[in-house]
Structure 1
Amino acid sequence: MDLKEKRNNERMEQVERRKDEIISAALSLFVEKGIDSTSINDIAAKAEVGPATVYRHFENKPQIVIVAAIKFWQSEISSLMPRILPESSNTCKGIDKIRNILNSYVILYQEYPEFIRFLDEFDNYVVKEKIDAEALRIYEQNILDLRGILVKALQEGKQDGTIKQEVEEYIFYATVTHAVLSLSEKLVLRGNILKSDNEIEAIAQLNLIIEMAVKYIST
C-alpha cells in the first residue's frame, strides 16, 4: 500500500467515523426528545459539528431517521440474539424455537420500552413525511432478518413433525409480529386508559397472543 492509498483509506475511515457519530447523536435525541421534536441543528450540536457537516453526509432529516432506525434495530436484535436462539436451541424442536423467538417480543416490551416507543414514532413519521418504499428498502431488509430466523424455525418444525405442514410461513410471521408489536406499542405508549385495563396484566396479554400462535401451528 503506497502513501496515497494509505491516506485515502484514513480519510474514508474518518468520514465513516464522523457519519456514525452523527447517527448515534441523532438516535440519542430521537429516543430522548422524539423524532418530530429533533431538528438538524439539534443533531449537529449533539454531534459537535456544524449543520453543514450533517448535510454533507445526509441529504435530509428523513434519511437520518431511516439510518438511525436501522442502527437501533441492529443493536436491539443483536442484544437479543443469544436469548432468541441460545446455543442449547441447536437440539430444540422447531416449535420450541418458535416459542423462543416469539418470547423475544415480550423481552422487548419488558426491557426495551424505548425501542417500542421509537418504532411507533418511526411509523408515524414515515406516514407523515410520505417516505416512499424505495427509500425504506434498506431499512426493510434489516428488519426482515428476524423473519428469516422465524421462517427457518417453522421449516424445521415441519420437518421434525412439531409444526403443521399447512402453516403459511410468511403470513404467520406478519400476523403474529404485527399483533404482538401493536399491543406492545399500545401498552407502552398509552398504558391503562379504561378502568377495566387494570384488570389484566400486560405480560399476560402478550403471553396469551404467543400461546395462541404456538398452539395454532403446533401438531
Structure 2
Amino acid sequence: MATSAKGTKRDGAAAAEKAIDLDALAPRDEAVVACAADVFLARPIAEVKMTDVAEAAGVGVATLYRRFSTKTDLAVLSATLLWRRFNEQIHTLVESDGFLALGGLDRLEALLASYRDAYLAHAEFMRFLDELDHLLLAEGAGAARLAVYGAEVDSFYLIFDDAYLLGRMDGSITREVDFPVFYHALAHALTSVAQKLARGAVIPSDDFAAAGAAAELDVLINMAKCTLSNHV
C-alpha cells in the first residue's frame, strides 16, 4: 500500500518518540549494553565510538548499529542499567529492620546519606550522567524517548515520600512542604554537587580536600533536615 509523504513524516515522528527501553531488549543485547556501560564509565561519551563498544562487546559494528541505531540510544540504555545497579544498593538499606524502625525524618536522613556515600564512591558514574545530560539537551531528546530512563532515576521517589508522610504523622517532621518540589530540588542539588566533585577543582575556592569531599553534600542534607524539622 502506498504511503503519503505526510503519513511517512508522521510515522517517522512516532518512531523517534518511542521509549528507549532496557527491559525490551533481548538477553544478548542486554550483555552488549553492559559492555557499553563499562566503556562509557571509563571514557568521556564524546570520545567513545561505536567501534569501541563493538570491540568491547565482541560484535560487529554493523550489528551494533542495527540493534541500537545511535550512540545516544546506547548511552541512555547504559545509564538506565547503571541507575538500576545503583538503586539496587539502596534496596539493602530500605529493606533492613533498622531502617524500618526509624521515624520519618531519620529515614529521610538515612536515605540521603546512602545516596551521598554512593555518589562519592562512584565518581565516574556522576561524570557520565553529567555528560549524558548535556548530550540529551544538545540533541533535544523528547520526554517520551526518555520515559523508561526517567522512571529508573525516580524509582525511589515513593520511598522518600513515604518517609515524609511518616514524619508528618510521628511528629519528627514539623514543617509541611510541597514534597515533590522539595524532593526534586534536593535531588538536583545533591546530584549537581556530586558531579562538580567528580569534575574536579577549577578555581582556587574549589578546595574539596580542605573539608573532605562529603562536606558540601552534608551541608545540603543538614539544610533539608532543618527545613523539615523547622529548626533554623
User: TM-score with structure 2 length normalisation?
Assistant: 0.82
CA contact 1:105–1:181 (8 Å) conserved in 2: no
SS in 2 for 1:164: coil
How far residue 215 of structure 1 moved from its aligned partner, in angstroms, is 1.1
1:218 aligns with 2:229: yes
Q: 1:55-70 residue pairs with structure 2 within 5 A?
A: 55-70=65-80
> Measured at CA, do residues 46 and 111 of structure 1 come closer, stay the same or move farther in structure 2, by a change above 3 Å?
same
Structure 2 residue aligned with 1:53, among 63, 83, 92?
63
> Measured at CA, do residues 83 and 112 of structure 1 come closer, stay the same or move farther in structure 2, by a change above 3 Å?
farther
1:203 aligns with 2:214: yes
Aligned length, in residue pairs: 205
Q: Which AA in structure 1 matches 2:148?
A: I
How far residue 85 of structure 1 moved from its aligned partner, in angstroms, is 5.4
Q: Which AA in structure 1 matches 2:116?
A: V
> Measured at CA, do residues 210 and 135 of structure 1 come closer, stay the same or move farther in structure 2, by a change above 3 Å?
same
Q: Which AA in structure 2 matches 1:71?
A: L
* Corresponding position of 1:140: 150
CA contact 1:84–1:104 (8 Å) conserved in 2: no
Detail structure 1 runs of 4+ shifted over 2 Å in the superposition.
83-87, 190-193, 195-202
Q: Which AA in structure 2 matches 1:50?
A: G
How far residue 63 of structure 1 moved from its aligned partner, in angstroms, is 1.4
How far residue 192 of structure 1 moved from its aligned partner, in angstroms, is 5.8
How far residue 83 of structure 1 moved from its aligned partner, in angstroms, is 3.3
> Measured at CA, do residues 199 and 28 of structure 1 come closer, stay the same or move farther in structure 2, by a change above 3 Å?
closer
Q: Which AA in structure 1 matches 2:74?
A: I
* Corresponding position of 2:51: 41
CA distance in 1, matches of 2:101, 2:57: 46
> Measured at CA, do residues 163 and 195 of structure 1 come closer, stay the same or move farther in structure 2, by a change above 3 Å?
closer
SS in 2 for 1:128: helix
CA distance in 2, matches of 1:106, 1:114: 14
1:131-152 Cα shifts (integer Å, max 9, x gaps): 1211111111111112121111
How far residue 164 of structure 1 moved from its aligned partner, in angstroms, is 2.8
How far residue 59 of structure 1 moved from its aligned partner, in angstroms, is 2.4
Where does the alignment leave 5 or more consecutive residues of structure 1 unmatched? 1-14
Higher helix share: 1
> Measured at CA, do residues 49 and 137 of structure 1 come closer, stay the same or move farther in structure 2, by a change above 3 Å?
same
* Corresponding position of 1:11: none
SS in 2 for 1:36: helix
How far residue 29 of structure 1 moved from its aligned partner, in angstroms, is 0.8
How far residue 202 of structure 1 moved from its aligned partner, in angstroms, is 2.7
* Corresponding position of 1:8: none
User: TM-score with structure 1 length normalisation?
Assistant: 0.86
CA distance in 1, matches of 2:91, 2:132: 23
CA distance in 1, matches of 2:132, 2:40: 10
CA distance in 2, matches of 1:80, 1:71: 15
How far residue 98 of structure 1 moved from its aligned partner, in angstroms, is 0.4
Instruction: Among all aligned residue pairs of Structure 1 and Structure 2, give the percentage whose two residues are the same amino acid.
Output: 29
CA distance in 2, matches of 1:196, 1:107: 20
1:99-151 Cα shifts (integer Å, max 9, x gaps): 01111222023211111111111111111222121111111111111212111
